[in-house]
Amino acid sequence: MIAIVLGTRPEIIKMSPIIRACETHGLDCFILHTGQHYSYDMDRAFFVDLDLPEPEYSLDVGSWTHAEQTGRIMAGIEKVLMKEKPEIVLVQGDTNTVLAGTLAAAKLSLQVGHVEAGLRSFDRRMPEEINRVVADHISDHLFAPTETSRQNLLREGIDDAKILVTGNTVVDAVSQNLEISKTRFDVLDEMTLKPGEYFLVTAHRAENVDIRMRLGGILDSLAAIGDAYSNPVIFPMHPRTAKMVREFGLSLEGITVTGPLGYLEFLQLESNARLILTDSGGLQEEACILGVPCVTLRDNTERPETVEVGANVLAGVHSEKIISSVSRMLGAASTWKNPYGEGNAGEKIVARVAHQRRSELHLPLSSSGCIEKK
């Protein structure tokens, strides 16, 4: 039995190809949703929109301090794992859910598989960096999205036999879910936008939105960019960001602010944007995959592959640097090669998980490392 542990919307998205691969091959699995950031009821729409089975377990933990949230999640996961006794627990990314799930499983002597292993920003001030490092060092299977991630793990002394370079499940998810989106929404028509004629923005990280100077620098640059290129700047604003804009009394003039959008709707906006400005790690990947130039509103990134192939540039939060970075990326050709694989990462991960039982399950591996379909 496979336990799939997730707690945030990005985890639902990136785990969706693994869940689908388990279903396709009839593998026994269950989903445990910790509810780290949102209520289960709010996330239920995600499972419905992505045609995923609902979680068998929901902890509905909610937001707390890092320590208390991690402790609550760990205690809840432990109870479920003791009841179900899965053979392997899969976690994805770098959240408190990942840290808690990995620790709970390891202390019960259960196998742990870390999806998206080996990412490093090399900035230990980021809680996410601590989470991913700890998870990597106590996991039994490390599913690295790229060779760069594998090399990070090897440099830290992790056994190469534990590591499998799979590509990133985000490639699978973007491909699968964009097709679903096209059958359900036409966001551009609803917002009267034209493909390639608007900028798309997200900003939610505490180090950006909780500091007035940094958030103000971002907003000032967005207004200037919209004016300089005569294109609307679309900003689906995270509730945390909206709260800080109000508290700081900052201006949103020249920026089109919307409420948070559903994933399928947002994916359409991403795929048709002229350029994306973001502090999200996942969006750096998705922009690269979709062939949309990206300017990252951070000083470092755990997705260096996007920068190396020319799909992304680090701009920080100072207006002049952001504006010059936008000019640079708009002048570059969008001809980079996607560094995150061919869209079969979910299949490769499930194949490795099933490897020890493949004779019993009659699931031989193909030359690509995926499970051969009958």
How is the beta sheet containing 163-165 ordered, strand by strand?
57-58, 29-33, 2-6, 88-92, 111-115, 141-144, 163-165
Q: Which residues are catalytic?
A: 204
Amino acid letter, 238:
H
Residues near 109 by Cβ (< 8 Å), separated by ≥ 6? none
Strand extents, DSSP E, 57-181: 57-58, 88-92, 111-115, 141-144, 163-165
> How many Å apart are CA 251 and CA 226, to the nearest integer?
14
Cα 141–Cα 171–Cα 285 angle in degrees, nearest 5: 95
Which 8-state DSSP code applies to residue 39? -
Give me 286's structure tokens: 């998705």
Of 97, 96, 106, 170, give the one whose Cα is nearest residue 349.
Answer: 170
